Structure 1
Amino acid sequence: MKPVLLAGETFHTTSLSAKGLEVRASSRYSNGALRFVGGLSSHGIEVVQIGGERCEAEFPKTLVELDKYSAVIISDVGALSLLYTPETRLGKRSVNRLELLREWTALGGGLMMAGGYTSYQGIDGSAMFHGTAIEEALPVALHAGPDGLEAPEGLDPVIEKREHPVFSDLPSSIPYVLGMNRVKPLPDGVSTTLAHCENRGQKLPLLSVREYHAGRSLAWTTDIAPHWLSDDFMRWEGYDKLMVNMVKWVAKEI
């Protein structure tokens, strides 16, 4: 199996500490994908991660570059970080990498989007994937406005298609989550909702899959890390297996 490309899941936090008139600034860099990358690596899957701050300069700009990977995972990085390129900042034409991803998927690639504050439309609408080429390849439809749902009471996943390979060999039911992106299911026959969460009388797709021309796409609408993944989820013995199964399915390895 070729390596998997993960785009996103990194962030900088800047804070101010005030003690009277003395104010100090500090910052730290975090990578939210360490558990995810470790889980895949333990099952022999190599992950190449391009943090959100590096996507503009380093994310692939050709089909040949994308073909180095068995799957591309977009997680907690917005559309602008992929659309901006060094060339466009200089006022020159460049490639639309969301259209490139759609084409690559249609030609046989594997595309996965994981949820987060800057996935799908995002907690405040700033992710802005609605109306882009990549939405055409996803197994869900996006709302035009903010889609982040905080659920401190917890949301319990309900599996609809237990027989699907994504759920093979899971040791138990999926633990609760603390938030997700609200998306809309596509019509039956276009995509399949494998699991959902219920909120205020609505069934919200949690895990959806689709055959897109010669390729495959998968939407996991909660996080791959805290805080939307609860502590129970992160400690769950099935975490690695579920993440590995999702990646292997989209890469046509199962």
Structure 2
Amino acid sequence: MKVLLAGETFAATTSVAVGADVLTSATSINGATAFKAALAAEGIAMTQIGADRCAAEFPFDLDALSQYQAVVISDVGALTLLVTAEARAGRVGVNRLEMLKAYVESGGGLMLAGGYMGFQGMFGTARFHDTPVEDVLPVRCLPFSDGMEVPQGLQASILESSHPIFAGIEKPLPPILGMNKLDFKGDGSSRLLATCHHRSTDWPLLAVRNHGRGRTVAWATDIGPHWLSQDFLGWSLYGRLMGNMVRWLAGTE
């Protein structure tokens, strides 16, 4: 099984004032380290294209994308995929969000994960609302900033424990520290597997959908820190849960 992860890298620049002098340093961070290690332990090899490389290196045609049985998009916004070098130069080119929709309809598996740059995004900057990617998901993105921080922790309620994604998973799930607000589609092809209750609303945490010949997963929180708590990342079944999502997407559950 070949799996592609797009996103989960970022660069941080820090400035420190020491008297009249200002010292600046930069570092690169990969938020998928735990996720990749957990999948490797499950026997799932993954190719990662970091967010800084997605504009140039994410596949530009369906044949290249179709070599992967599952694609995970995590913490990289829609504009990074849409605004190609051709678009910046004012030339007509490929719409990679339309390509992802076609990939699912032709039998691929697509997972959109949450985070500050997931779904619509903490500041409304991820912008997957009203896109071809949203068309194939089991949820609708809200048309505004959708991220919520819950430092006291959210507890998931599992609604369909018999689903293959929860095979071998013992309840309860460890706490999460935030998520994206989403609207479950509730059509006949979508299933809501887990929710989190916050401020009088049950928000979709995990939903799945069969679309065309393919499958999609919406996971409304991070695949790693910081919304996944250290309890979650250290949980013995973290890898099993993430692996089950990918195996279900690829149809190998």
Give the TM-score of the pair, scaled to structure 2. Answer: 0.98
2:184 corresponds to 1:181: no
- Partner SS, residue 135 of structure 1: helix
| 1:232 alignment counterpart | 231
How far did 1:172 drift? 4.0
Measured in 2, the distance between the counterparts of 1:11 and 1:132 equals: 24
Identity %: 49
| 2:163 alignment counterpart | 164
Measured in 2, the distance between the counterparts of 1:31 and 1:172 equals: 29
Query: Which AA in structure 2 matches 1:173?
Result: P
How far did 1:26 drift? 0.7
Superposed CA offset, 1:212-243 (max 9, x none): 01100000000011110011101100100000
Query: Which AA in structure 1 matches 2:234?
Result: R
Measured in 1, the distance between the counterparts of 2:111 and 2:238 equals: 17
Query: Which AA in structure 1 matches 2:179?
Result: M
| 2:105 alignment counterpart | 106
How far did 1:190 drift? 3.2
- Partner SS, residue 188 of structure 2: coil
2:84 corresponds to 1:85: yes
How far did 1:46 drift? 1.2
Superposed CA offset, 1:158-215 (max 9, x none): 0000000000011442101000000001124131110000011101000000000110
- Partner SS, residue 148 of structure 2: strand
- Partner SS, residue 217 of structure 2: strand
Divergent runs of 4+, >3 A: none
RMSD: 0.8
2:201 corresponds to 1:205: no
Is the CA contact 1:172–1:238 (under 8 Å) kept in the aligned structure 2? no
- Show the 5 A alignment for 1:138-149: 138-149=137-148
- Show the 5 A alignment for 1:1-254: 1=1, 3-254=2-253
Superposed CA offset, 1:18-74 (max 9, x none): 011100111100001011111111222110000001001000011100111010100
Query: Which AA in structure 1 matches 2:25?
Result: S
Query: Which AA in structure 2 matches 1:248?
Result: R
Higher alpha-carbon deviation: 170-179 or 189-198: 170-179
Measured in 2, the distance between the counterparts of 1:39 and 1:153 equals: 25
- Partner SS, residue 131 of structure 1: coil
Measured in 1, the distance between the counterparts of 2:171 and 2:209 equals: 25
Measured in 2, the distance between the counterparts of 1:150 and 1:40 equals: 26
- Partner SS, residue 12 of structure 2: strand
5+ residue gaps in structure 1? none
Give the TM-score of the pair, scaled to structure 1. Answer: 0.98
Is the CA contact 1:171–1:237 (under 8 Å) kept in the aligned structure 2? no
Measured in 2, the distance between the counterparts of 1:172 and 1:136 equals: 31
Query: Which AA in structure 1 matches 2:94?
Result: V
Measured in 1, the distance between the counterparts of 2:4 and 2:187 equals: 29
Measured in 2, the distance between the counterparts of 1:239 and 1:187 equals: 27
Measured in 1, the distance between the counterparts of 2:8 and 2:76 equals: 7
Measured in 1, the distance between the counterparts of 2:201 and 2:81 equals: 32
Number of equivalent positions: 253
